[in-house]
């Protein structure tokens, strides 16, 4: 069964540019790296220090029967739907990690081999024996279809032991793994559905996978990726109207928050889900909420969602960006003005507080308020009353105040720029929103979502992303967070050819920070952030070593072998964050050997 145009090896040889972007199971070559043998060798047991490593990522062996017990306890305390969601997300994150590790470890691997490595990893880790029936994909066209049989599912064993045979599939964690792994490779959300399962009495499990927007009723599958029902799953695709049980369209504030009517909360990562949990917890109360986080992480979207899921949702949501209003106007904007208060105040008018009556007032960049405005805000919070500029009477207001800041308010207090009493009034229920680099698992979802969104908005048919564009986006540090990703995809959608994919030059066009980061980092062949997570260190170490020959001058340079060794050791120690064991792994040495070499070279510091 081939549903996507097939590419023969001869075609691929003729058209080299396509090699990175598409492939199918017919091209699978058992000898192509990473082989099962390669993968097996990347698993290292280090019983001396109580660690197991898979490509530099720490692993742990667990009894499947203990996992089965955990599953039963989760089911007892959370119920089936929540347990299924939780395990799906755990699996998703594992699949995502494995895809990242393989990409970094074997950057030149053929795409079909990388796809095939997923099932092998899955088998190596003891989850299932995977029998690929077929798969084909074309990253540029945005197509993917796969069908797999799973034998000996350990998850089914655990499930059947406690719950027997039922009517629903039960390989939740493994399905999540497949979704995470494949989505991380193609840079868009690929959803798998278990259509047969041992836990339903079938001899083996059968998995079908395709892009989220090709499934009908995909919200049902996607709802398991989201911890909270208000997180949108409608963003991805077809939906029979009225059947969605889990969608929430978020309307941005009419006043200041822009007019983009289809902003959606999108995410699956644990950092994102943790913030969503807190949001749901505080929404039904009247507590003041303070959102913290870098620019571009979506603070206004969270604030708006807080309002949408609160009892005040039928009342106004008024957003004010305090930094966007001149200091001389901020008081009259917030609190209103009485006629004759100053020259030109020919009419009385209410401020944002009054306009938000009964609803929610969102104060973005609250740290930029003047000390006078801070004092008035404090009073409004304390007394529930405001006074218009030039006014003589107090006006009672019932407003829930939600604030946000991208600076450290405690620091501002120390510098004398922010009132401590106001801080304690605002900081009743702080919610920290993580930067995008701490929720990389969400990048493929966000890419899918923005691709679809901007394709519709600009009436452009863009098929997907090239493999190198996917690589770049998955590895980029995103100093501007989600807003930056959003801008990159919008720009890419406009630059890309009709019916073609978004390629790297379509994304990083303006030559500013983004392009510079890309090129400076591309020296090693991969995009990389400097503060790479420890699990990325192994791949980096290998790349570091790959660069060494290029450092040597043919005629004998300034480098001595000793200097080279010291430089390498210093670099490895830095990448490993000073951890001697991790640095030793980067260099392919044992820990004592590395310690010896450091002592010998007098670099010191290590034991
Ligand atoms: Zn199953």
pLDDT tens digits, one per residue of 17-60? 333 456 676 666 667 778 888 888 888 888 888 888 888 788 99
Given strand 360-364, what is the order of strands in its sheet?
317-321, 360-364, 400-405, 289-292, 429-432
pLDDT at 573: 82
Whether 20 and 140 share a structural domain: yes
Ligand 1 centroid – CA 488 distance (Å): 39
The answer to the question of residue 606 being in a domain is: no
Closest C-alpha among 575, 571, 576, 570 to residue 605: 570
Whether 274 and 148 share a structural domain: no
Ligand 1 centroid – CA 84 distance (Å): 13
Total H helices, total E strands in the chain: 24, 15
Strand residue runs (E) in 214-263: none
Ligand 1 centroid – CA 449 distance (Å): 29
Ligand 1 centroid – CA 245 distance (Å): 25
Whether the model pTM is above 0.75: no
Ligand 1 centroid – CA 385 distance (Å): 60
Q: How many other C-beta atoms can be found within 10 angstroms of the C-beta atom of residue 31?
A: 7
Closest C-alpha among 146, 237, 236 to residue 193: 146
Split at pLDDT 50, 70, 90, the class of 158 is very high
Closest C-alpha among 247, 358, 359, 259 to residue 303: 359
Whether 478 and 573 share a structural domain: no
Ligand 1 centroid – CA 37 distance (Å): 26
Ligand 1 centroid – CA 128 distance (Å): 9
pLDDT at 31: 74
Ligand 1 centroid – CA 182 distance (Å): 18
Q: What is the CA radius of gyration of the chain?
A: 27
237-248 per-position pLDDT tens digit: 544 443 333 333
Whether the Cβ atoms of residue 469 and residue 509 lie closer than 8 Å to each other: no
Ligand 1 centroid – CA 147 distance (Å): 14
Ligand 1 centroid – CA 391 distance (Å): 69
Ligand 1 centroid – CA 63 distance (Å): 18
Most confident of 111-125, 432-446, 496-510, 593-607: 432-446
Tell me which residues have their CB within 5 A of the ion that is ligand 1: 153, 156, 171, 197, 205
Ligand 1 centroid – CA 198 distance (Å): 5
pLDDT at 74: 96
Ligand 1 centroid – CA 169 distance (Å): 6
Ligand 1 centroid – CA 266 distance (Å): 28
The answer to the question of residue 405 being in a domain is: yes
74-86 per-position pLDDT tens digit: 999 999 999 999 9
Ligand 1 centroid – CA 162 distance (Å): 14
- H or E stretch including 591? helix 591-601
Mean pLDDT of 134-143: 80
Most confident of 15-19, 132-136, 143-147, 424-428: 424-428
Mean pLDDT of 571-575: 81
Residue 554 CA: distances (Å) to CA of 301, 558, 559: 57, 11, 11
Output the domain CATH number for residue 596.
Answer: 1.10.10.60
Output the domain CATH number for residue 495.
Answer: 1.10.8.60
pLDDT at 265: 84
Q: Identify the residue with better confidence: 492 or 562.
A: 492
The answer to the question of residue 250 being in a domain is: no
Bridge partners, 51 (sequence order): 46
Ligand 1 centroid – CA 73 distance (Å): 20
Distance CA 186, CA 146 (A): 13
Ligand 1 centroid – CA 505 distance (Å): 42
Split at pLDDT 50, 70, 90, the class of 514 is very low
Ligand 1 centroid – CA 202 distance (Å): 9
Whether 277 and 355 share a structural domain: yes
Whether 68 and 17 share a structural domain: yes
Whether 305 and 400 share a structural domain: yes
Calculate what percentage of the chain has a pLDDT beyond 90: 44
pLDDT at 54: 86
Q: Identify the residue with better confidence: 138 or 240.
A: 138
Ligand 1 centroid – CA 119 distance (Å): 15
Instruction: Among 413, 432, 451, identify where a domain stops.
Output: 432
Number of domains within the chain = 4
Q: Which of 108-117, 366-375, 496-505 has the lowest mean pLDDT?
A: 108-117
Average pLDDT of the chain to the nearest whole number: 80
Most confident of 163-167, 502-506, 510-514, 537-541: 163-167
Distance CA 368, CA 504 (A): 37
Residue 524 scores a pLDDT above 80: no
Relative to beta strand 51-54, strand 57-59 is antiparallel
Whether 449 and 568 share a structural domain: no
Residue 153 scores a pLDDT above 50: yes
Ligand 1 centroid – CA 227 distance (Å): 22
The answer to the question of residue 398 being in a domain is: yes
Residue 341 scores a pLDDT above 80: no
pLDDT at 567: 79
Split at pLDDT 50, 70, 90, the class of 367 is very high
Ligand 1 centroid – CA 353 distance (Å): 55
Ligand 1 centroid – CA 154 distance (Å): 9
Calculate what percentage of the chain has a pLDDT beyond 70: 80
Output the domain CATH number for residue 31.
Answer: 3.30.1380.20
Ligand 1 centroid – CA 196 distance (Å): 7
Closest C-alpha among 399, 405, 310, 308 to residue 359: 399
Ligand 1 centroid – CA 117 distance (Å): 20
Split at pLDDT 50, 70, 90, the class of 548 is low
pLDDT at 307: 96
Q: Which of 310-319, 436-445, 502-511 has the lowest mean pLDDT?
A: 502-511
pLDDT at 429: 96
Q: Which of 52-61, 337-346, 446-455 has the lowest mean pLDDT?
A: 337-346
Residue 603 scores a pLDDT above 60: no
Ligand 1 centroid – CA 369 distance (Å): 56
Ligand 1 centroid – CA 121 distance (Å): 17
* Secondary structure of 140-175 as H, E, C letters: CCCEEEEEEEEECCHHHHHHHHHHCCCCCCCCHHHH
Task: State in Å, rounded, how far the first CA of the chain is from the last one.
Answer: 60
The answer to the question of residue 132 being in a domain is: yes
Ligand 1 centroid – CA 171 distance (Å): 4
The answer to the question of residue 264 being in a domain is: no
The answer to the question of residue 335 being in a domain is: yes
Whether 349 and 422 share a structural domain: yes
Whether 348 and 426 share a structural domain: yes
The answer to the question of residue 258 being in a domain is: no
Mean pLDDT of 485-503: 92
Mean pLDDT of 103-115: 81
Ligand 1 centroid – CA 185 distance (Å): 23
Mean pLDDT of 408-421: 96
Ligand 1 centroid – CA 221 distance (Å): 15
Whether 159 and 297 share a structural domain: no
Output the domain CATH number for residue 427.
Answer: 3.40.50.300
Distance CA 345, CA 347 (A): 6
Distance CA 71, CA 371 (A): 54
Ligand 1 centroid – CA 77 distance (Å): 23
Ligand 1 centroid – CA 62 distance (Å): 19
277-319 per-position pLDDT tens digit: 999 999 999 999 999 999 999 999 999 999 999 999 999 999 9
Question: Which domain covers residue 301, as residue numbers?
Answer: 270-432
Instruction: Among 194, 226, 258, identify where a domain stops.
Output: 226
pLDDT at 552: 56
Mean pLDDT of 194-211: 96
Distance CA 110, CA 114 (A): 6
In the structure encoding, which two tokens stand for residue 43, read together? 């698993």
Residue 149 scores a pLDDT above 90: yes
Whether 312 and 188 share a structural domain: no
Whether the Cβ atoms of residue 425 and residue 286 lie closer than 8 Å to each other: no
Mean pLDDT of 476-501: 92
Residue 534 scores a pLDDT above 70: no
Instruction: Among 382, 408, 432, identify where a domain stops.
Output: 432
Whether 441 and 404 share a structural domain: no
pLDDT at 156: 95
């Amino acid at each position: 069964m081939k549903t996507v145009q097939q590419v023969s090896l001869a075609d691929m040889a003729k058209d080299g540019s396509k090699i990175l972007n598409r492939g199918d199971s017919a091209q699978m070559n058992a000898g192509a790296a990473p082989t099962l043998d390669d993968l097996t060798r990347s698993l290292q047991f280090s019983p001396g220090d109580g660690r197991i490593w898979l490509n530099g990522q720490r692993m742990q062996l667990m009894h499947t029967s203990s996992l089965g017990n955990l599953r039963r306890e989760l089911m007892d305390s959370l119920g089936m739907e929540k347990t299924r969601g939780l395990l799906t997300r755990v699996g998703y994150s594992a699949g995502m990690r494995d895809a990242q590790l393989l990409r970094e470890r074997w950057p030149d691997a053929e795409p079909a081999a990388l796809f095939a490595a997923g099932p092998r990893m899955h088998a190596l880790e003891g989850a299932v024996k995977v029998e690929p029936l077929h798969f084909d994909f074309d990253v540029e066209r945005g197509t993917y279809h796969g069908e797999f049989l799973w034998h000996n599912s350990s998850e089914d064993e655990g499930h059947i032991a406690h719950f027997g045979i039922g009517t629903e599939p039960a390989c939740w964690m493994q399905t999540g793994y497949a979704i995470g792994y494949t989505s991380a490779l193609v840079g868009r959300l690929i959803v798998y559905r278990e259509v047969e399962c041992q836990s339903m009495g079938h001899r083996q499990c059968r998995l079908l996978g395709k892009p989220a927007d090709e499934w009908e009723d995909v919200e049902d599958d996607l709802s398991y990726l989201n911890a909270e029902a208000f997180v949108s799953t409608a963003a991805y695709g077809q939906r029979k109207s009225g059947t969605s049980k889990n969608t929430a369209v978020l309307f941005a504030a009419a006043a200041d928050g822009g007019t983009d009517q289809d902003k959606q909360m999108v995410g699956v990562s644990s950092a994102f889900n943790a913030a969503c949990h807190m949001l749901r917890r505080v929404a039904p109360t009247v507590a003041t909420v303070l959102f913290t986080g870098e620019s571009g992480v979506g603070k206004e979207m969270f604030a708006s969602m807080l309002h949408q899921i609160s009892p005040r949702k039928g009342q106004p949501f008024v957003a004010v960006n305090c930094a966007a209003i001149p200091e001389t106007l901020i008081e009259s904007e917030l609190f209103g003005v009485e006629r004759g208060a100053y020259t030109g105040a020919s009419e009385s008018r209410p401020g944002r507080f009054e306009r938000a009556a009964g609803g929610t007032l969102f104060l973005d960049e609250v740290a930029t308020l003047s000390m006078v405005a801070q004092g008035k805000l404090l009073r409004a919070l304390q007394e529930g009353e405001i006074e218009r500029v030039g006014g003589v009477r107090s006006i009672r207001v019932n407003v829930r105040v939600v604030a946000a800041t991208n600076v450290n308010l405690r620091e501002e207090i120390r510098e004398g720029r922010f009132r401590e009493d106001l801080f304690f009034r605002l900081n009743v229920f702080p919610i920290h929103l993580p930067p995008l680099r701490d929720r990389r698992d969400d990048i493929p979802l966000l890419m899918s979502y923005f691709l679809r969104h901007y394709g519709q908005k600009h009436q452009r048919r863009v098929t997907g992303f090239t493999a190198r564009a996917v690589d770049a986006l998955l590895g980029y540090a995103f100093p501007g967070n989600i807003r930056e990703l959003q801008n990159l995809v919008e720009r890419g959608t406009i630059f890309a050819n009709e019916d073609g994919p978004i390629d790297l030059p379509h994304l990083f066009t303006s030559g500013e920070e983004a392009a510079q980061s890309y090129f400076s980092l591309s020296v090693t062949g991969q995009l990389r952030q400097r503060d790479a997570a420890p699990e990325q260190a192994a791949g980096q170490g290998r790349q570091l070593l790959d660069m060494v020959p290029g450092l040597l001058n043919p005629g004998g340079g300034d480098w001595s072998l000793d200097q080279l060794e010291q430089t390498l050791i210093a670099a490895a120690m830095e990448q490993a964050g000073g951890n001697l064991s991790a640095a030793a792994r980067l260099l392919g040495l044992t820990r004592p050997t590395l310690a010896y070499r450091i002592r010998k070279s007098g670099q010191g510091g290590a034991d």
